[in-house]
């Protein structure tokens, strides 16, 4: 009988813990030195493993980037969901969610740049992430809030899309065009909400 050589396969829990550890170190590297710093070599050194170990768990840098996107979007969704727990009024819940969405990105401009402004990311990578990740689920929470306002049949999708696009736009302008004297982000966000609920 031949004795097995090498480390035994990781359990599902160990794999999840390892991927979480990798994403935490990748996010720290990103915050410190930008996306270019999140190389397999540098990340493996930060995590304390060989580059081959990372390649055994990730297809490459793009997959690590997608893991970062998922982490950030999950954190944002948690922030938004916490904001709607304070009221049961449908209009107030939508307003609280929209304000929380915009404030999350403005409070975390590095996360906004990572998710919405990453360089060297192909459309197929973004499409793949949208298809496999929970991006649609994160935006679905806004569709559910809009649906609770009882709009006309068929209006939920277009109103949700308009709201999400408007909120991302408010965040983008506030983060990237800082020298322009924008009105308060809450006031602009309220205008977006009024536009889609009128």
> What is the tens place of the pLDDT at every residue in 41-80?
888 888 898 888 888 888 777 788 888 888 888 899 999 9
Residue of 107, 71, 74 lying closest to 185 (CA atoms): 107
Yes or no: say if 115 and 73 are a contact pair by the CB < 8 Å rule. Answer: yes
Instruction: Indicate the Cα dihedral angle 103, 109, 111, 116, nearest 10°.
Output: 90
State the pTM of this model.
Answer: 0.81
Q: What are phi and psi of 57, to 5 degrees?
A: -110, -20
Q: Which residue has the higher pLDDT, 117 or 145?
A: 145
pLDDT at 4 over 60: no
- pLDDT, one tens digit per residue, over 69-124 is 888 888 999 999 999 998 899 999 999 999 999 999 999 998 898 888 876 666 77
149: three-class secondary structure by DSSP: coil
pLDDT band of 166, cuts 50, 70, 90: very high
- Provide CB contacts within 8 A for 27, sequence distance 6+: 68, 71, 72
Ordered structural domains, the chain, with CATH: 10-58 (1.10.10), 68-197 (1.10.357.10)
- Say what the pLDDT of residue 55 is: 83
| CB of 36 closer than 8 Å to CB of 42 | no
- The Cα–Cα gap between 131 and 126 comes to 9
């Amino acid at each position: 009988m031949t004795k097995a050589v090498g480390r035994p396969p990781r359990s599902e829990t160990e794999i999840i813990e390892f991927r979480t550890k990798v994403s935490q170190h990748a996010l720290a590297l990103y915050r410190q030195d930008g996306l270019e710093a999140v190389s397999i070599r540098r990340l493996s050194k930060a995590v304390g493993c060989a580059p081959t170990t990372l390649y055994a768990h990730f297809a490459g840098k793009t997959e690590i980037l997608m893991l970062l996107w998922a982490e950030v979007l999950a954190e944002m969704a948690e922030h938004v969901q916490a904001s709607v727990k304070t009221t049961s009024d449908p209009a107030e819940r939508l307003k609280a969610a929209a304000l929380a969405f915009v404030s999350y990105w403005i409070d975390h401009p590095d996360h906004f740049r990572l998710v919405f402004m990453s360089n060297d990311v192909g459309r197929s990578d973004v499409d793949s992430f949208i298809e496999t990740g929970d991006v649609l689920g994160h935006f679905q929470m806004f569709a559910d809030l809009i649906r609770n306002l009882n709009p006309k049949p068929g209006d939920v999708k277009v109103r949700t899309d308009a709201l999400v696009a408007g909120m991302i736009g408010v965040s983008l302008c506030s983060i990237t065009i800082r020298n322009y004297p924008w009105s308060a982000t809450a006031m602009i966000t309220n205008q977006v909400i009024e536009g889609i609920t009128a």
